[in-house]
């Protein structure tokens, strides 16, 4: 069973709620991330995405607190992959801060979920190809074994 700790990004970039919108924009650009976890007293309280930053700049907002999104869910590193995908579909949550022992240890984004799903699909395709090859070889062997030529060869 796939757990969150196996697919999460551990390099989480965070920002304080009183930071400026332009500071958030610079941080997003310099770290090449699409979102920041807003931390207050070492606890995640919100998420700010690229879109939030753009909306903040356009509307003239000054602080991260003015545009941050509180629509997120804290999860444990031992949570199941199926739970994450269910929340993504049902609640439209795209980012999940991963917290263990009251400490931010990672972040799961929609991109991480898509990449993990792609890896699962690739693995299943390989398994299917191996199974087909084994059954193909077994079928060929039995067709040969029970053919007149195979009967004369094995007897």
Residue 103 lies in a domain: yes
Q: What stretches in the chain show pLDDT beneath 70? A: 1, 150-151, 154-155
Q: Which two tokens stand for residue 75?
A: 């999860």
Classify burial at 46, counting beta carbons within 10 Å of its beta carbon; exposed 0-12, middle 13-18, buried 19 or more: buried
Q: What is the pLDDT of residue 9?
A: 87
Q: What is the pLDDT at residue 69?
A: 84
Give me the CATH number covering residue 106.
3.10.580.10
Q: Residue 132 falls within a domain, yes or no?
A: no
Whether residue 67 is contained in a domain is answered as: yes
Q: What is the pTM of this model?
A: 0.72
Residue 128 counted as domain residue:
no
> Domain count of the chain?
1
44: containing domain: 4-114
The SS3 call for residue 67 is: coil
What is the per-residue pLDDT for 141? 85
């Amino acid at each position: 069973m796939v757990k969150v700790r196996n697919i999460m990004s551990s390099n989480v970039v965070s920002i304080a709620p009183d930071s400026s919108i332009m500071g958030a924009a610079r941080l997003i650009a310099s770290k090449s991330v699409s979102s920041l976890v807003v931390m207050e007293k070492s606890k995640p309280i919100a998420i700010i995405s690229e879109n939030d930053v753009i909306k903040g700049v356009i509307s003239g907002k000054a602080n991260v607190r003015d545009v941050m999104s509180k629509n997120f869910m804290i999860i444990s590193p031992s949570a199941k992959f199926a739970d994450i995908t269910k929340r993504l579909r049902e609640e439209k949550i795209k980012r999940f801060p991963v917290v263990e022992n009251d400490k931010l240890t990672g972040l799961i984004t929609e991109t991480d979920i898509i990449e993990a799903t792609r890896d699962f699909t690739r693995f299943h395709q390989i398994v299917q190809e191996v199974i087909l090859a084994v059954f193909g070889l077994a079928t060929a062997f039995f067709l040969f074994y029970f053919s007149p030529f195979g009967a004369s060869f094995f007897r």
